[in-house]
Structure 1
Amino acid sequence: MQGRSDQEEVQSKAVYRVQGFTCTNCAAQFEQNVKSLPEVQNAQVNFGASKVTVYGKASIPELEKAGAFEGLKVYPEKETRPIEKKSFWKKRSTITSLVSAAFLSIGWLLGEDSPISTVLFAVSILIGGYELFIKGLKSLTRFNFNMNTLMTIAIIGAAAIGEWLEGATVVLLFAISEALESYSMEKARQSIRSLMNVAPKEATIRRGDKELQVSVDDIQIGDIMVVKPGQKIAMDGTVLKGRSAVNQAAITGESVPVEKEPGGDVFAGTLNEEGLLEVEVTKRVEDTTIAKIIHLVEEAQAEKAPSQAFVDRFAQYYTPAIMLLALGIALIPPLFMGGAWGEWIYRGLALLVVGCPCALVISTPVSIVTAIGNAAKNGVLIKGGIHLEEAGALTVIAFDKTGTLTKGVPVVTNIVRLQGPEEDELLSIAAAIEKGSQHPLASAIVRKAAEINTATKEATDFTSITGKGAKAFVDGVLYYIGSPRLFDDIKPLESIVSEQIQQLQKQGKTVMVLGTELEVYGLIAVADEIRPSSREVIRKLHALGITKTVMLTGDNQATAEAIGRQVGIGEVKAELLPQHKLESIKSLKELGKVGMIGDGVNDAPALASADVGIAMGGAGTDTALETADIALMADDLTKLPYTIKLSRSTLGIIKQNITFSLIIKAVALLLIVPGWLTLWMAIFADMGATLIVTLNSLRLLKIKE
């Protein structure tokens, strides 16, 4: 029964896309309205991604009724629907604003004291502020003191004390402010929209002797997809026939096309540039890499960064406080100090207008949405505002060696026969044992044996020896292969052998020893080529103010130090088992915020323990996408300095936005004391602050590598 109830709970969750959000306050109001529906247990609105998650039962008409105050349109998440693009001049809000502005202008030209002007100002207020008043009065009846409530009280109050011109001016400026906020969020969301439109909606599928155009929703795993030159690839899959260069910029941010041949993986949304490819589909449309990226980016926008959580908490108390203060200013001086009612009510209304938390509330989310969208377009997946902020605060970065600082494709460079079997047979024995291992060094030996076509041998009773090597029976003899440390426990190495090992290690090579419990037969040296970009990346990180870079590796000390010197890394910690890497991360945390970068599969405990876990080569690697805080989609280390730079810029802009918003409010509040702040100045200050904050946030779109 328990299983059934859990299943029902999962089935009761539904996600919908929403069209028409204009501001964070409206999104919050919509969320409250949905929560109050009779059969809804809970609801969560993702303002950045324009989505609502409903727990319980609610029909689309019910949801649209809950958003009727804003004219919201709702449809299922998986339904593909074109974005309604209305000309700015054809939007209802634009038309009403223009008509309102016309009446205001005519009234002003006739003179503020003219009775006709008063009528024109009143008409201007009604036309421009009608929707605002409906929202504000509904909020007021629910004791929900949001931006619409503050503005409605201020405008009605201005009219009540005869300040018709100021009331009409406030309505018009507020409409302009709303339009600017809506525009800035749409601009920020375009990065995600561009991702959603990357992959084609149809593909050419070969079934029998026929080639059919099939919707991606109807394509099954195992179908053969035909991709012609110049076409976009519609589904993730594996190349069966053909060779071509594929532009993967949409997924990985790489500008240089990648060569694909039979056995190579391709991703939905990438562009086939040259040859004809036949691809076996390996994932359904909802499981493709681009689909996962879009989902994770949208979820990332819903996760509140620490600064946003602070702003939300602040605004929760700030708005009611402003209303109480405004009420006090309007009532206390006339009642107890002999002040003029009209003058002090006017000051109270000015405080209500300037107290609107628009700029403050939008200061963080627009920055986070813009930065995460920009990162996704450049092949960096940041899985939440908290990770974006944490990355900007990093002072220490730890690197895994294999596959991160190096290419991760080691090759055999030396085979040293000490005694016993000849070199070819030594390699054949080593390859037989290493076939059972998943270690990159093992694959280098297997590849070398295949390359020189050694005699094939079979190993039995294979056993991995964690962090040291492996053992197995070959031709009835128990052989050991692994690091020199392995033989410290079996048969200590002679000094002449140790000297040979050290010479090879000083050249940056990793040495494996092959032997039995009685004899050591040979040495196999393997080198992993350093990425050309590694040294430059380390230099850029130090230039960005990263105080310490550390390499954590299971490799021997001499090899690790040789590679460390070549890439310019600050400190090398070698001969580490996975638990030692975890301990190293914990100790590094005493120096500051620590980031760990690896391949997202190995060293999972260290990645999880770091303040920010960064995975290399996230494209096609489900583990990296799911476990890392940040995934560099390309196998490209140069994305790391860009990520740090973007994160720091985002942190800086958020701080600038919050500080600027609070200073503007403080200055405006001080101007109320001598009575210098007019209503139109108050709304202009609020609108100006909102505009500056949003434009400042949109600067994040321009940050490049």
Structure 2
Amino acid sequence: MDQTNVNSCCNKNEQENESTQNKEGSCCSVPKETADQPAHLQKFTIQGMDCPSCAETLEKGLSKIQGVGDIQVSYASAKLSLKKDSSVHTDKITEEVKKLGFSAFPVLSNTMQTYKIEGMDCSSCAQTLENHLNKNPDVQEVRVNFSTGKMKIDHRTTVEKIKKEVKRSGFTAHLDEKLQEDASNSKLKKEVNTIFSGLLLAIGFALSFTPVPEWISIAAYAGAILTGGFKPARSAFYAIKSKSLDMNVLMASAAIGAALIGEWFEGAMVVWLFALGNTLQDRSLERTRESIRSLVNLTPSEATVKKGDQWVQMPVENISIGSTVLIKAGDKIPVDGTVMKGFSSVNQAPITGESIPVDKHTDDPVYAGTINESGSLEVTVTKKAEDTTIAKIIHLVEEAQEKKAPTQAFIDRFANVYTPIVFGLALSIMILPPLLGFGSWGDWLYKGLALLVVACPCALVISTPVAIVSAIGNAARNGVLIKGGTFLEKAGTITAIAFDKTGTLTVGKPKVSHVIPVETDPTQLLRIVRTLEDHSNHPIARAIIEYTNERNISSVEADDYATIAGKGVQATIKGEEYFAGKPGLFRDHKVDLSHVAEHIESLEKQGETLILVGTRNRLMGIISVADSIRDITVNAIQTLKRIGINESVMLTGDHEGTAEKIAGEAGIDRYFAGLLPEDKVTSVKTLQKEGKQVAMVGDGINDAPALATSDLGIAMGGAGTDTAMETADIVLMADNLEKLPYTVRLSRKALAIIKQNIWFSILTKVAALVLIFPGLLTLWMAVLADTGAALIVILNSMRLIRQK
């Protein structure tokens, strides 16, 4: 059922809305607005709705929240929109949706600005910044992502005030990534502070071996603590103010505690090692966060555009649709378009990952960011700069990098509980043993401080997001679009892959191989079938139209065109109904096919697809078409088997003979033939009931239901279809299966690295904790263990950037 808003109590006419919008308890009511609390429209994507009544359940459940109104839930599009006042936080909405049995993900509004944030050391910093900005009445919504180092914010104030608020939290915000100068200055200042802190530490240490008064070396240590620790201390202040405990709080507490008990050298060493570790982490993380910068830099800033009779240089963002652009040999193509004049080979590797250049003729599509290798091309622009394929890839990859994988979400929840417990445990160790007479205050204070430092979960928290960001960025550069960590993780657990046949395993361009007239001549048969197929976009219809065009056979006048789902087409010609479709269509009409049964059986055994043409009571002829296996298909299937995919399955609407032939040629283990679109969903469910984790590979349009039903939906040929990029979980930008084995291998390596990171982080903590109580672990060793572990985890994750 095609509905845009099912069971919505708000789906009424304007008069009804006016009369009901202020009724208390109505799910359409608008929240009461005051000068301080204006209503704010927010949208969410909903997961988990199984039927239209789920939409009604959500509406009724959310209408009970004070300050929320004008709720609309669409089951068909899985979207929720509502109005809320500023007292209702987004997290409250998502929590309530979760209680009702669904999952809600905020959709960022068009008014969202994106800032690059400098100075975040771990995901707790992102939480601190979010908490701080959420208290600002001018901020409508804010999302800070540590992995990508970006903040998306909807606000009602100036950019400068937002930057100032971010700075108060201990970080630096840059609105435009192209403005790198401020960012570079911020990094340089941080690095200078680290170096200066290290020099003061070295001076203090050297002076401690000379006869100079002790207070001079202490002053040097104090200078090292102040220089290197100012930024962490400021961040710690705002973390505590925002009611969160992050690594800055733990480190600042340790440094201050060390100074209070007279361990000035230890305090200075803690601060310097922490600052040094953060500097190295920042450098490494920046490489990870910029893993898609190569994509951003693919498109030139200017293009040669035709203005009248002249060719002029123009900024790419000013080029309008329909303009003509000249692309010389060796130039990067600046915009998406269609070749109007010229012939060339174009290197599409930046978009599709294909290693071999693709020949481009008149009317062929070209994409921004690809490279014109030989001849000159004149291209008609079909998309604006912000809507090009490369722009969409960059946008989707950035969104994907911000989505939390299940492992990351679990670790974040764990850290939120773990850190306060550790802080409380450290305070207990500092106070209780000396109170009970077990040792001196100094010894237990020192051990408590060491516990604060070593128990910081920084390495554990960044173990997953850095790996996922690296893997998704690598995949994007190699022509594979992975829409989030969840799907990256799923790809590594797949045990069976189901393939659509036409256009996935095969070329998707069948050709007419036999024309067998019955009770008519070949020309008349082709004229009738051409007329019937004229309004169809099916590959078989296109093959028949191409065949008739080559023979200059045109269609005749007809009306009442209709498609018979999964069986064929029909139209009325000169008052009589004509049909073209599968043999089953004519059997349904009780047409006698006994005199052509041998022809049908013979052609089907050869793997031909048959189109019968006739009326309700007679057969006029048979046309057979055949598709061919892609060259890359057999190699891709064999590679998948070698890397451990247990079963490959083909789903097709073709008859048994064609299915058997194609499956044999491609090396497919199993096939389901004669399927209608809804039958493909049933086939996927059958595989799932057998205990398999199933990926479905299709074109992202006709196979949308099966893609949605599978554990992992993979669309092929994303460079040419926006729908494929929107519907699937993973998109292979090239129109072949070449990248599928690479995607599975990348996912499995990412999962392996995540597990390595988690175990390494945990074992490092356990080892350090064991050394605390015998007094073998010093404060500076604890810092080294913490920051060192975090750095090793980052470097280990960065191996995914270089995965081939």
Q: TM-score, normalised by structure 2?
A: 0.83
Structure 2 distance, partners of 1:83, 1:423, is 73
Structure 2 distance, partners of 1:12, 1:203, is 28
Instruction: Determine which structure has the larger helix proportion and give its number.
Output: 1
Aligned positions of 1:530-569 closer than 5 A = 530-569=629-668
2:228 to 128, 132, 157: 128
Q: Aligned AA for 1:373?
A: G
Aligned positions of 1:325-474 closer than 5 A = 325-417=425-517, 419-454=518-553, 456-474=555-573
1:109 is matched with: 206
1:316 and 2:416 aligned: yes
Gap regions ≥5 residues in structure 1 = none
Gap regions ≥5 residues in structure 2 = 1-13, 19-29, 31-38, 43-82, 84-107
**Structure 1 residue 372: deviation in Å?**
0.6
| Contact kept? 2:569, 2:579, Cα under 8 Å | yes
**Structure 1 residue 207: deviation in Å?**
1.7
With 510-519 and 559-568 compared, the bigger mean Cα shift is at: 510-519
* Partner secondary structure for residue 91 of structure 1: helix
**CA, structure 1 residues 7+362, in 2 after alignment: closer, same or farther (shift >3 Å)?**
closer
**Structure 1 residue 606: deviation in Å?**
0.8
Structure 2 distance, partners of 1:143, 1:221, is 51
1:247 to 347, 353, 367: 347
Structure 2 distance, partners of 1:427, 1:159, is 94
1:278 and 2:378 aligned: yes
**Structure 1 residue 462: deviation in Å?**
2.0
Structure 2 distance, partners of 1:84, 1:645, is 39
| Contact kept? 2:120, 2:149, Cα under 8 Å | no
2:92 is matched with: none
**CA, structure 1 residues 21+569, in 2 after alignment: closer, same or farther (shift >3 Å)?**
farther
**Structure 1 residue 19: deviation in Å?**
4.5
| Contact kept? 1:601, 1:623, Cα under 8 Å | yes
Structure 2 distance, partners of 1:624, 1:536, is 24
Q: Give the count of matched residue pairs.
A: 700
2:277 is matched with: 177
**Structure 1 residue 452: deviation in Å?**
2.4
1:612 to 672, 689, 712: 712
Structure 2 distance, partners of 1:527, 1:663, is 60
1:644 to 744, 747, 768: 744
| Contact kept? 1:60, 1:74, Cα under 8 Å | no
**Structure 1 residue 543: deviation in Å?**
1.9
**Structure 1 residue 520: deviation in Å?**
2.1
Aligned positions of 1:563-582 closer than 5 A = 563-582=662-681
Q: Aligned AA for 2:656?
A: Q
1:39 is matched with: 138
| Contact kept? 1:491, 1:519, Cα under 8 Å | no
What do residues 609-640 of structure 1 show as CA deviations (whole Å, max 9, x unaligned)? 11111110001311011111111111121111
1:675 is matched with: 775
| Contact kept? 1:425, 1:454, Cα under 8 Å | no
What do residues 56-109 of structure 1 show as CA deviations (whole Å, max 9, x unaligned)? 413211211122144413326xx8545767499x81222222222222223333
| Contact kept? 1:465, 1:471, Cα under 8 Å | yes
**Structure 1 residue 47: deviation in Å?**
3.2
Q: Aligned AA for 2:322?
A: G
1:685 and 2:782 aligned: no
Which structure is richer in relative contact order (CA contacts within 8 A, separation 6 or more)? 1
Give the share of equivalent positions with the same residue, in percent: 49
1:510 and 2:573 aligned: no
What do residues 536-557 of structure 1 show as CA deviations (whole Å, max 9, x unaligned)? 2112222222222111111111
1:484 is matched with: 583
| Contact kept? 1:596, 1:606, Cα under 8 Å | yes
* Partner secondary structure for residue 67 of structure 1: helix
* Partner secondary structure for residue 290 of structure 2: helix
Structure 2 distance, partners of 1:355, 1:541, is 42
2:628 to 529, 534, 538: 529
* Partner secondary structure for residue 686 of structure 2: helix
1:215 and 2:311 aligned: no
Structure 2 distance, partners of 1:112, 1:131, is 30
**CA, structure 1 residues 83+314, in 2 after alignment: closer, same or farther (shift >3 Å)?**
farther
2:766 is matched with: 666
| Contact kept? 1:430, 1:481, Cα under 8 Å | yes
Aligned positions of 1:4-43 closer than 5 A = 13-23=111-121, 24-43=123-142
* Partner secondary structure for residue 664 of structure 1: helix
| Contact kept? 2:512, 2:544, Cα under 8 Å | yes
Q: Aligned AA for 1:428?
A: R
Aligned positions of 1:194-233 closer than 5 A = 194-233=294-333
**Structure 1 residue 450: deviation in Å?**
1.0
* Partner secondary structure for residue 589 of structure 2: coil
1:100 is matched with: 197
* Partner secondary structure for residue 286 of structure 2: helix
Q: Aligned AA for 1:94?
A: E
**Structure 1 residue 642: deviation in Å?**
0.8
1:586 is matched with: 685
* Partner secondary structure for residue 430 of structure 1: helix
* Partner secondary structure for residue 13 of structure 1: coil
